Amino acid sequence: EINVTVNGDGKYPEFLNKVLLKAATQGYVACHYVFKNLVKYYQKLKEEQ
Protein backbone atom coordinates (compact mmCIF):
# COMPACT_ATOMS: atom_id res chain seq x y z
CA GLU A 1 0.00 0.00 0.00
CA ILE A 2 1.26 3.44 -0.93
CA ASN A 3 -0.05 6.27 1.20
CA VAL A 4 0.99 9.67 -0.14
CA THR A 5 -0.24 13.11 0.90
CA VAL A 6 0.85 16.63 0.07
CA ASN A 7 1.18 19.47 2.53
CA GLY A 8 -0.72 22.73 2.26
CA ASP A 9 2.11 24.68 0.59
CA GLY A 10 0.88 24.21 -2.97
CA LYS A 11 -2.35 25.17 -4.65
CA TYR A 12 -5.40 22.97 -4.19
CA PRO A 13 -3.90 20.46 -1.70
CA GLU A 14 -7.36 18.98 -1.00
CA PHE A 15 -7.78 18.04 -4.65
CA LEU A 16 -4.29 16.55 -4.87
CA ASN A 17 -4.77 14.52 -1.70
CA LYS A 18 -8.10 13.19 -3.00
CA VAL A 19 -6.45 12.11 -6.26
CA LEU A 20 -3.39 10.61 -4.58
CA LEU A 21 -5.56 8.63 -2.20
CA LYS A 22 -6.55 6.55 -5.23
CA ALA A 23 -2.86 5.66 -5.69
CA ALA A 24 -3.06 3.65 -2.46
CA THR A 25 -5.08 1.02 -4.30
CA GLN A 26 -3.57 -1.11 -7.01
CA GLY A 27 -4.66 -1.70 -10.56
CA TYR A 28 -4.96 0.00 -13.91
CA VAL A 29 -8.19 1.86 -13.15
CA ALA A 30 -6.71 3.58 -10.08
CA CYS A 31 -3.53 4.49 -11.96
CA HIS A 32 -5.54 5.87 -14.89
CA TYR A 33 -7.68 7.94 -12.50
CA VAL A 34 -4.61 9.42 -10.81
CA PHE A 35 -2.87 10.45 -14.01
CA LYS A 36 -6.06 11.80 -15.61
CA ASN A 37 -6.69 14.04 -12.63
CA LEU A 38 -3.06 15.14 -12.29
CA VAL A 39 -3.28 16.35 -15.89
CA LYS A 40 -6.40 18.36 -14.94
CA TYR A 41 -4.54 19.79 -11.94
CA TYR A 42 -1.57 21.01 -13.98
CA GLN A 43 -3.80 22.34 -16.77
CA LYS A 44 -5.69 24.42 -14.21
CA LEU A 45 -2.43 25.79 -12.79
CA LYS A 46 -1.23 26.63 -16.30
CA GLU A 47 -4.49 28.48 -17.08
CA GLU A 48 -4.07 30.61 -13.95
CA GLN A 49 -0.68 31.92 -15.02
How far apart are the C-alpha atoms of 46 and 5, rounded to whole Å?
22
Q: Quote the pLDDT of residue 15.
A: 84
What value does the mean pLDDT of the chain take? 80
- Give me the mean pLDDT over the 22-45 stretch: 80
- Write down the pTM of the prediction: 0.54
Q: Give the number of residues written for the chain.
A: 49
Greater confidence (26 vs 13) lies with: 13
CA gap 28, 19 in Å, rounded: 14
